Structures are given as C-alpha cells and as structure tokens.
C-alpha cells in the first residue's frame, strides 16, 4: 500500500507560484494502478513527487515506511521510474541499456546472473532479439520497450511508469498492460495512461485527478470510469458499453464545449 | 567498425564475445603505445639503435652519452607524449559524456585559451603571477589561468539549473574572453615576444623533465582511477537526466566531478606542452565507434587512443624534416585530421 499524505507541490517561477496540487491524499494498492486525468492535471508531477524528484510538502508512505525520508540508495532500491519523455541518446547495445537498470548493484565485472536477469526481462517483453542492437538504431516504439525493460529489470517494489504505452503498436500495448497486470505479487505498478479502454480493461485500481489537481475519485475501473466522470473531468460526452466479457468500449461523442447542432 | 555480431542471438553469449573483443583491442593499443615509446626514444637528432635502446632501458648502461640522453631527455619526453595524449583523450571522453555532445572536448570549456593568455602574460608583459623562478614563469602563468578558467566553469556548473547546454555556452564565452585578452597583449607586443607566443601555442614536448612528467602522470592516474570507479554512473550519463537520477545517479554531482578533474589534468598538460588540440575530440570519437559507451572500455580506450595519436604525431614530427622537431600541436592536427575525416566519411557511407 502506497499513500500520499497532504502532498502539495507548486512550480515557483519569477512570475509567481503555480500550484499543481494541494493537500493531495491518494492511495495505491499492490497491483496495476492507473492514474487518469486531463492534460495538466498533475499526473506526471504526481509520479515525480512520489519518486522524490520534486521539492514537495507532505509525506509519502509505503506500508509503514516514510518514503520521503529515504536516502537515494534506499529509494532507488524501492522505486523504479520511467519518465514520460526520454531523450536518452546512447550507442550502448540494448543489453547494456537494460543492464544499466541494475546500476546500483553493478560492480567492475558483470555477473552472469545479472546478464540472465536482463535476458529474462527482454524475453518477457518479447524483444530479446534486439539485445545486440544499438539503442540509437531502434524505432521509437522499440526504444520505449527497451526503456520499460530497463525500469522493470530490478524487480522494485514500486514501479512508476509515465505513459509507458505511448508510441507502442496495438499488440505491444496489450501485451505490456497484460504483463503489468500480472506482475502484482507485492509490486505496485503506478502508470499514467491516456487510453481509457486499456485502463479499464487492465487496471486493478484507478485514480482520477481532475483539471485542478484534486482527487476526483478512486476505485475499481467500473466504479471510477463512468459517463459522469468523463463529462465532469474530461469535459466529454461519451457512452460506455461493456461486452459480454466485461471489456469496455468507450466512445467519445463530443466535447461539452461544442455547440450542439 | 562494429564489435557486435551480425546475426541476432537469443542469449547473452554475444555479450561475452563482445567484451573479449574489447579487451583484445585494449591489449593491442597498449602494445602499440609501448612500440611508439621505444620508437620515440630511438628517434632524435642523433638516432639510437633499437638494440641500444633496449639495453639502456633494461640494464641501465649504454655506449657514450646514450644513457644520459635516454634517461634525462628522451625517456621523459616520450612518456610525456603518451601521458599528455592519454590525459586529453580521457578528458575528451568524459566531457563528451557529461555534456552529451560528441564534439565537446576539454577545449570547449575554455581551459586552453585561458592557458594561452597566461603564457602570453609571461612572454609579453613579463608578468610573474606566482612569483616563481624565471625558467618556469610561463608554465606557471599558463597553469594559473587554466585553473582560473576551471574554477569559473566549476562555479558556474554548481549553480542551480546549470545544464549541459548552458555549460557549453559558458565555455564558449570563456574561450572568446581569453582569446580577446590574448589579442590585446599581441597588439601591444613587439615581434620577438609575439614569435615566442606563437611558438608556445604550437605545442612542444622538448622542455619536458621528470618533474613535469610525474605531475602529469600523477594527475592522469588520479583522475583515471576516480573515473573508472564511477564507470557505471558515467555510462548512465548517456541516458536522460531524469532517467539517470532514477537509477540513483546524482547527475549534477557527476558533472561537477568531471569538470573539476578534467580541468585539472588538462591544465597541467596544456601548461607544460602547449596546446595540443584535437586529440580530445578524435580519441573518444574513435573509441566510441570501436567499443560503444560502456565506460569501463570507452574511458580506457579513449585514453589509449589519445596516447597513441600523440606519440605517433611525435614520431612523425621528428622524421618529416631530419634533424628538426616540428611542433607537436601542429603535427597532431595534421595527422589527426585525415584520420578523423576518413572515419566521418566511412560513417556517412554506412548510413
């Protein structure tokens, strides 16, 4: 169980102070958590805040441990984080790239078991044949998969993924979400997604932030992703139909700002 | 140009083979460096046969003045060529890594131009900044100003928000500033002083002695060990800043460490032998093509290639015109540029 307690963050600029969220109290469960919300709702900021990349007020708890007070070494052991934009430009091979995910444990010589761990995660993501390729030679989607592998390889307790399925093809999107759902055990995956259908189909738990960085609601996909929520948070008139397997089909009809003809 | 296997493989065996190739490459370059060392000792105004060189090196006895010539002049000079090359190659490798810019080098930070200004102060105005003896005045001045530039860039890099882009811009500003100051001195100087400054700037190994060599070697080894200890963190610097941070790398701290160490070793190298340009750019460039960016190999190979390039240039500088030793800085550029261009052309063709 991961919890934020009265978490507040504002961007300080010369023109003033822009609050992103104030006194935010959110809980995440072990399993696949998805954070939803419109652009600028503070989803990415929330992930960065949890990882401690931002100077925030408030506390973050993992079970009975105060994450905010942890040192860098302890924190990197507990949490892995995949940023939304990645400008990594590296001629390392894919194997070496993923190996870097084990950085806190790497010594002068690379251990065989570490190499095996790397190959395992590549196999799990179906990209093991990319292992000898140079990272810079890959396509956008392939790079993304490699970076996801780099994030997952260490088996951390908390995995923060900022838009992990962006630039992936349909098959990879489904496979990755399915994998993230299966990771569970003690792992808390917290992912920012924009694809509501994927979120509803795969998430165990959904957290919705509204446009002002306030918590709109949290709970199971069926509880949180409703036509009312879509209208109030996203400003979209939409219909949600579930098929006989319980898979959702969310179709946005129009923006609430549009004048109805 | 690549050390990766052609066919895709499904286990990590290819990685082991890759590492073996990399180790072999390092061994080859070590051999080349040793060969050039012996060659540089043999070559000079009065050539000494290779057999005699080995005899002097191994037994400490030699015919006529050979022992004296080798021990006091040629050995420190030839070692200095290797040390300076290694220092510049290593510096270039790390500066390129932290700025994530393949055309950066220690010179990008303004250190060389600052050293030139210091030398100019001594040669033209006879200013003795450290009040040292006349004979080392120019070197001491060059070092003081190289260090001053280092401190400036270090202080700048510790400011909040100083990223890789702003550090390059600050370095460019320092470069122009010290060039302008040097030009003012050149404008007021007489032709004799001007000439000596021009010669200083061309770079020379001829004034090497054991003390200078030990200082450069000490700085080189010190920095190399620290960089090597941080090899994985430095490798992670090729990643996005945020990503590197998420792996527990203190990005700002690594940047500051590289800047201060590289400046130090460059300041020593440049103030003792003048500006030997270019090695800082080409050595890491070639090394990256050969072994990629795993710093355990990238760092080592950059230093070795730097050493070999300068040592080779030193050899060539002695044989182009018999009896005359051309300035090492010039020869390095003339030898280095065709090599560099051929690599660039080959890369373009490979695309």
Span A170-179, mean pLDDT? 86
pLDDT at A118 over 90: yes
CATH of the domain at B163: 1.10.3470.10
pLDDT at B7 over 60: no
pLDDT digit string (tens) for B45-78? 788 888 888 888 888 887 888 888 888 889 999 9
On whether residue B132 sits in a domain, the answer given is yes
Tell me which residue range forms the domain holding B213.
11-350
pLDDT reported for residue B68 = 85
Rounded to an integer, what distance in angstroms lies between the CA atom of residue B179 and that of residue B303? 28
On whether residue B335 sits in a domain, the answer given is yes
On whether residue B1 sits in a domain, the answer given is no
**Structural contact between residues B91 and B280, judged by C-beta atoms closer than 8 angstroms:** yes
A147 or A19, which is more confident = A147
The confidence band for B199, taking pLDDT boundaries of 50, 70 and 90, is: confident
pLDDT at B37 over 60: yes
| Chain A positions in Cβ-Cβ contact with residue B350 (cut-off 8 Å) | none
**Structural contact between residues A6 and A60, judged by C-beta atoms closer than 8 angstroms:** no
In Å, what is the CA distance from B258 to each residue of B84, B94, B205, B230, B292? 17, 7, 26, 10, 19
pLDDT at B1 over 50: no
List, as one string, the DSSP characters of A147-200. Answer: HHHHHHTT--SEEEEESTTTT--HHHHHHHHHHHHHH-TT-EEEEE-S-HHHHH
pLDDT digit string (tens) for A49-87? 898 888 888 888 988 888 888 888 888 888 999 988 777
pLDDT at A259 over 80: no
**Number of domains into which chain B is organized:** 1
pLDDT reported for residue A207 = 93
Residues with Cβ < 8 Å from A165, sequence gap 6 or more?
A172, A173, A176, A177, A193, A195, A198
pLDDT at B10 over 70: no
Contact call for B292 and A83, based on CB within 8 A = no
On whether residue B181 sits in a domain, the answer given is yes
On whether residue B81 sits in a domain, the answer given is yes
B residues 195-234 closer than 8 Å to A (CB):
231-233
DSSP H helices, A62-111, are 72-78, 94-99
**Count of CA atoms in the C-beta half-sphere (13 A) of B112:** 21
B328 or B3, which is more confident = B328
Contact call for A129 and B10, based on CB within 8 A = yes
On whether residue B120 sits in a domain, the answer given is yes
pLDDT at B4 over 70: no
Express as a percent the part of chain B with pLDDT over 70. Answer: 97
Span B285-310, mean pLDDT? 93
Strands (E), chain A: 2-13, 16-24, 27-28, 31-36, 57-62, 65-66, 79-82, 158-162, 188-192, 205-209, 215-219, 236-242, 248-255
| Chain B positions in Cβ-Cβ contact with residue A112 (cut-off 8 Å) | 12
B161 interface with A at CB cutoff 8 Å: no
User: Which residue has 């104030």 as its token pair?
Assistant: A22
Span A231-258, mean pLDDT? 83
pLDDT digit string (tens) for B115-167? 889 988 988 888 887 777 777 788 888 888 988 888 888 888 878 777 778 88
| Chain A positions in Cβ-Cβ contact with residue B14 (cut-off 8 Å) | 95, 131-132
On whether residue B59 sits in a domain, the answer given is yes
CB pairs under 8 A between A and B: 105
pLDDT at B25 over 80: yes
Contact call for A133 and B235, based on CB within 8 A = no
**Structural contact between residues B276 and A124, judged by C-beta atoms closer than 8 angstroms:** no
| Mutation site for B-interface testing, chosen from A44, A54, A88 by largest number of B Cβ within 10 Å | A88
Q: B6: exposed, middle or buried (C-beta count within 10 Å: 0-12, 13-18, 19+)?
A: exposed
Distance from CA of B283 to the nearest CA of A (A): 16
Per DSSP, B106 falls in state: G
- Angle at which helix A170-183 crosses helix A140-152, to 10 degrees, equals 10
pLDDT at A223 over 90: no
> Could you tell me the two tokens for A96?
């070496």
B71 interface with A at CB cutoff 8 Å: no
Residue of chain B nearest A85, judged by CA positions: B240
Span B213-229, mean pLDDT? 94
Rounded to an integer, what distance in angstroms lies between the CA atom of residue B259 and that of residue B263? 6
On whether residue B338 sits in a domain, the answer given is yes
């Amino acid at each position: 169980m991961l919890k934020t307690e009265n978490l507040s963050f504002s961007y300080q600029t010369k023109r003033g102070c822009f609050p992103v969220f104030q006194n935010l109290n959110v809980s995440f469960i072990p399993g696949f958590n998805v954070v939803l919300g419109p652009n600028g709702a503070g989803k990415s900021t929330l992930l960065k805040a949890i990882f401690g990349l931002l100077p925030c007020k408030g506390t973050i708890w993992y079970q009975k441990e105060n994450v905010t007070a942890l040192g860098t070494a302890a924190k990197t052991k507990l949490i892995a984080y995949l940023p939304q934009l990645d400008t990594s430009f590296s001629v390392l091979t894919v194997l070496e790239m993923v190996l870097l995910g084990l950085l806190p444990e790497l010594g002068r010589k690379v251990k065989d078991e570490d190499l095996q761990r790397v190959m395992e995660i590549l196999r799990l993501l179906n990209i093991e044949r990319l292992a000898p390729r140079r990272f810079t030679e890959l396509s956008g989607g392939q790079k993304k998969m490699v970076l996801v592998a780099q994030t997952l390889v260490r088996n951390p307790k908390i995995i923060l993924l900022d838009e992990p399925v962006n630039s992936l093809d349909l098959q990879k999107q489904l496979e990755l979400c399915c994998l993230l759902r299966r990771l569970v055990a003690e792992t808390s995956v917290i992912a920012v997604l924009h694809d509501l259908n994927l979120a509803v189909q795969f998430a165990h738990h959904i957290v919705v932030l509204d446009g002002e960085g306030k918590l709109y609601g949290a709970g199971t996909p069926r509880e949180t992703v409703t036509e009312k929520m879509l209208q109030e948070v996203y400003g979209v008139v939409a219909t949600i139909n579930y098929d006989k397997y319980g898979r959702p089909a969310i179709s946005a009809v129009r923006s609430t700002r549009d004048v109805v003809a | 140009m690549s050390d990766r296997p052609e066919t895709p493989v499904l286990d990590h065996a290819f990685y082991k083979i890759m590492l073996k190739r990399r180790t072999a490459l390092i061994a080859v370059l070590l051999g080349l460096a040793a060969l050039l060392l012996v060659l540089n000792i043999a070559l000079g105004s009065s050539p000494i046969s290779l057999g005699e060189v080995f005899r002097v090196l191994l037994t400490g006895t030699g015919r006529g003045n050979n022992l004296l010539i080798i021990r006091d002049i040629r050995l420190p000079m030839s070692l200095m060529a290797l040390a300076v090359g290694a220092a510049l190659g290593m510096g270039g490798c790390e500066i390129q890594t932290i700025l994530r810019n393949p055309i950066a080098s220690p010179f990008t930070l303004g250190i060389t131009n600052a050293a030139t200004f210091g030398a100019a102060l001594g040669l033209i105005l006879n200013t003795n900044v450290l009040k040292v003896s006349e004979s080392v005045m120019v070197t001491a001045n060059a070092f003081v100003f190289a260090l001053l530039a280092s401190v400036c860039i270090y202080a700048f890099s510790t400011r909040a928000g100083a990223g890789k882009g702003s550090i390059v811009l600050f370095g460019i500003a320092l470069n122009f500033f010290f060039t302008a100051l040097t030009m003012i001195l050149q404008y007021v100087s007489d032709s004799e002083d001007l000439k000596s400054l021009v010669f200083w700037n061309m770079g020379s190994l001829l004034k090497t002695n054991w003390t200078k060599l030990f200082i450069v070697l000490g700085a080189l080894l010190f920095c190399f060990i620290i960089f090597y200890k941080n090899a994985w963190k430095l490798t992670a610097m090729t990643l996005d800043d945020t990503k590197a941070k998420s792996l527990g790398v203190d990005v700002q701290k690594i940047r500051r460490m590289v800047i201060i160490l590289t400046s130090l070793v460059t300041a020593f190298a440049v103030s003792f032998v003048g500006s030997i340009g270019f090695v800082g750019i080409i050595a890491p460039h070639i090394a990256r093509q050969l072994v990629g960016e795993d710093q355990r190999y990238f760092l080592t190979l950059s230093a070795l290639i730097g050493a070999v390039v300068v040592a080779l240039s030193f050899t060539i500088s002695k044989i182009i015109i018999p009896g005359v030793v051309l300035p090492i800085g010039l020869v390095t550029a003339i030898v280095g540029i065709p090599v560099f261009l051929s690599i660039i052309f080959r890369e373009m063709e490979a695309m």
